[in-house]
């Protein structure tokens, strides 16, 4: 394998070498013989195999066998400093240009065993069902398209209205009166014609209404509004199909996103069952909180944040570059505290019928 050095800088300080690849953290290694500095120096000249590096290092007076060099490269890999040089690009110049920043981002998570192009390939092969293309959802669609998710199914039942314009930036003034999923799908096609997109206009009134849509998708993102149980319908449909889902929402003082991996994490039904005693103050407070009717208080900065956070969690689910942060719970960002996040895990309900459904699907 040809090993490539990631973008990094270093300097020798006495017997140590200080390497910085990410501005937030410096790596200090003991390097009294200067071998690490020599290895980094050779790698910075271009991708090499361990055998080639062994020969090159010998010219600098560092006699190391091929397997000793390979060991050093494994060490650099563990520190996130090297990657499979031939997996830096997808091999298709047009795709590489289109995904330049995506490849650059995944470069930080790539290594000798996981080339950066693989992350982009996973996204391009993925099919995401987007529920709702309004507040939050319209940003979600744009972020998923930017990531290059290869197939999108967009579901909504609304038309574009002037009241959407505080926060739904996908739409234009002349779209007022048009079907949102149709217009959103058109936006995707204009943005990136290589993305396969389908618009579905449908009222969702039960888990059964989602059954045909969730089949075969890799992820469900977004949510259904208009009914207190709408989240549970998505939860059940996801469990029946064995598909993870990510949703989000907000109030004037908090924004949040949650994600569930059916059969592996507690679900929204577990969370719904985890309630304080109905007659207690806490139970009363919760009941009252659920009665508050908020008429779309999310402004543009909040709705776009929610859509972006859901898309970012989707990126975790689809590529595994890091584990989904909210999985089995709700990540709440407090607007009064400068968006400090707090993960609130769902408590698993051993009697949860929906989790039982999901577990029944597992091989
Ligand atoms: Zn459950």
Between 147 and 275, the more confident residue is: 147
Same domain, 37 and 167: no
Distance from Cα 236 to the centre of ligand 1, integer Å: 9
Task: For residue 272, report the distance from its CA to the centre of ligand 1, in Å.
Answer: 9
State whether 130 and 27 are in the same domain. no
Ligand 1 centroid to Cα of residue 348, in Å, is 6
Average pLDDT over residues 88-105: 96
pLDDT at 288 over 60: yes
Q: Are residues 63 and 172 in the same domain?
A: no
Are 83 and 163 in a shared domain? no
Q: Is residue 294 part of a domain?
A: yes
pLDDT band at 360, cuts 50/70/90?
Answer: confident
Among 25-29, 224-228, 301-305, name the one with the lowest average pLDDT: 224-228
Overall average pLDDT of the 261-274 stretch: 95
Measure 303 CA to ligand 1 centroid, in angstroms: 28
Residue 80 included in any domain: yes
Q: 206: pLDDT confidence band, cut at 50, 70 and 90?
A: very high
Token readout for 273 is 């069952």
C-alpha dihedral, 214 to 215 to 219 to 223, nearest 10°: 0
Confidence category of residue 126, pLDDT binned at 50, 70, 90: very high
C-alpha 361 to ligand 1 mean position (Å) = 14
- pLDDT for residue 250 is more than 70: yes
133, 178 contact by CB (below 8 A)? no
Instruction: Tell whether 193 is covered by a domain.
Output: yes
49, 133: one domain: no
Query: 214 pLDDT exceeds 80?
Result: yes
Q: What is the residue range of 178's domain?
A: 126-361
Q: How far is the CA of 258 from the centre of ligand 1 (A)?
A: 14
| Residue 321 sits in the same domain as residue 263 | yes
Position 106 in a domain: no
The residues with which 249 forms a beta bridge, in sequence order, are: 256
**CATH code for the domain of 17:** 3.90.930
Q: How far is the CA of 214 from the centre of ligand 1 (A)?
A: 18
- Cα(45) to centroid(ligand 1), Å: 53
CATH number at residue 286: 3.40.50.720
Answer yes or no: is pLDDT of 117 > 70: yes
Q: How many CB atoms lie within 10 A of CB 159?
A: 15
Number of domains in the chain: 2
- Expressed in angstroms and rounded, the spacing between residue 133 Cα and the centre of ligand 1 is 27
Calculate how far, in angstroms, residue 286's C-alpha sits from the geometric centre of ligand 1. Answer: 20
Of the three residues 66, 88, 110, the one that is the final residue of a domain is 88
Residue 266 phi/psi, 5-degree rounding, is -60, 160
User: Do the Cβ atoms of 301 and 291 come closer than 8 Å?
Assistant: no
pLDDT at residue 182 is higher than 90: yes
pLDDT score for 292: 77
The rounded mean pLDDT for the chain is: 95
- Token pair of 77 as six digits: 């890999």
Ligand 1 mean position to 267 CA, how many Å? 4
Residue 150 — very low, low, confident or very high, per pLDDT cuts 50/70/90? Answer: very high
Q: Are residues 78 and 133 in the same domain?
A: no
Question: What is the band of 277 on the pLDDT scale with cuts at 50, 70, 90?
Answer: confident
What backbone phi and psi angles, to 5 degrees, belong to 348?
Answer: -60, 130
Per-residue pLDDT at 228: 85
Q: Is residue 39 very low, low, confident or very high in pLDDT (cuts 50, 70, 90)?
A: very high
Is 8 contained in some domain? yes
Lowest model confidence (mean pLDDT) among 108-117, 144-153, 219-228: 219-228
CA 13 / ligand 1 centre spacing (Å): 55
Q: Residue 363's pLDDT is what?
A: 52
Rounded percentage of the chain residues whose pLDDT exceeds 90: 89
**Residues 6 or more apart in contact with residue 297 via CB below 8 angstroms:** 250, 251, 252
Q: 2 CA distance to ligand 1 centroid (A)?
A: 46
Q: Specify whether 259 is located in the same domain as 158.
A: yes
Q: Tell me, what's the pLDDT at 95?
A: 96
Within-domain flag for 338? yes
DSSP 72-115: HHHHHHHTT-EEEGGGSS-S-HHHHHHTHHHHHHHHTT--SSS-
- DSSP-derived 3-state class of residue 352: coil
How far apart are the CA of 259 and the centre of ligand 1, in A? 12
Q: Predicted confidence band at 295 (pLDDT cuts at 50, 70, 90)?
A: confident
The pLDDT, as a whole number, for residue 362 is 62
Both 155 and 66 in a single domain? no
pLDDT of residue 199: 98
Residue ending a domain, choose from 65, 88, 111: 88
Clarify whether residues 38 and 173 are in a common domain.
Answer: no
- Using pLDDT thresholds of 50, 70 and 90, give the confidence band for residue 58: very high
CA 235–ligand 1 middle distance (angstroms): 9
Q: Cβ contacts of residue 263 below 8 Å, gap of 6+?
A: 239, 242, 355, 358, 359, 361, 362
How many CB atoms within 10 Å of residue 315? 26
Average pLDDT over every residue of 259-281:
92
Structural domain contains residue 251: yes
User: 349 C-alpha to center of ligand 1: Å?
Assistant: 6
Q: Tell which of 34, 65, 88 closes a domain.
A: 88
Based on the fold, state whether residues 209 and 62 are members of the same structural domain: no
pLDDT of residue 213: 97
Give the range among 79-88, 213-222, 263-272, 352-361 with minimum mean pLDDT. 352-361
Q: What is the pLDDT of residue 100?
A: 97
Q: Within this chain, do residues 172 and 61 fall inside the same structural domain, yes or no?
A: no
Domain assignment present for 103? no
């Amino acid at each position: 394998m040809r090993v490539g050095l990631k973008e990094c800088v270093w300097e020798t300080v006495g017997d140590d070498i200080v390497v910085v690849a990410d501005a937030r953290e410096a790596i200090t290694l003991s390097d009294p013989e200067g071998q690490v500095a020599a290895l980094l120096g050779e790698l910075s000249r271009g991708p090499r195999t361990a055998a080639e590096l062994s020969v090159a290092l010998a010219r600098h007076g560092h006699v190391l066998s091929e397997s000793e060099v390979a060991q050093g490269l494994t060490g650099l890999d563990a520190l996130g400093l090297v990657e499979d040089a031939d997996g830096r690009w997808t091999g298709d110049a047009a795709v590489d240009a289109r995904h330049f920043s995506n490849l650059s981002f995944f470069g930080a998570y790539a290594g000798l065993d996981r080339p950066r192009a693989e992350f982009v390939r996973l996204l391009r092969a993925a099919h995401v069902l987007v529920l709702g293309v309004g507040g939050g959802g319209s940003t979600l669609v744009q972020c998923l398209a930017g990531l290059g998710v290869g197939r999108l199914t967009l579901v909504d039942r609304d038309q574009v209205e002037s009241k959407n314009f505080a926060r739904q930036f996908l739409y234009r003034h002349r779209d007022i009166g048009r079907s949102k999923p149709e217009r959103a799908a058109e936006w995707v096609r204009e943005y990136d014609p290589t993305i396969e997109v389908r618009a579905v206009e449908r009222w969702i009134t039960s888990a059964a209404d989602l059954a045909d849509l969730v089949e075969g998708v890799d992820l469900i993102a977004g949510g259904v509004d208009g009914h207190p149980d709408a989240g549970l319908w998505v939860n059940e449909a996801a469990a029946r199909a064995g598909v993870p889902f990510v949703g989000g929402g907000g109030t004037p003082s908090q924004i949040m996103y949650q994600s569930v991996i059916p059969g592996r994490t507690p679900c929204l039904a577990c969370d719904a069952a985890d309630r304080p005693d109905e007659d207690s103050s806490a139970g009363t407070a919760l009941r009252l909180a659920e009665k508050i009717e908020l008429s779309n208080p999310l402004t543009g900065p909040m709705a776009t944040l929610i859509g972006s956070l859901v898309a970012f969690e989707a990126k975790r689910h689809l590529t595994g570059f890091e584990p989904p942060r909210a999985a089995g719970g709700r990540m709440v960002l407090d607007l009064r505290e400068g968006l400090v996040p707090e993960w609130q895990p769902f408590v698993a309900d051993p009697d949860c019928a929906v989790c039982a459904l999901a577990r029944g699907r597992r091989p």
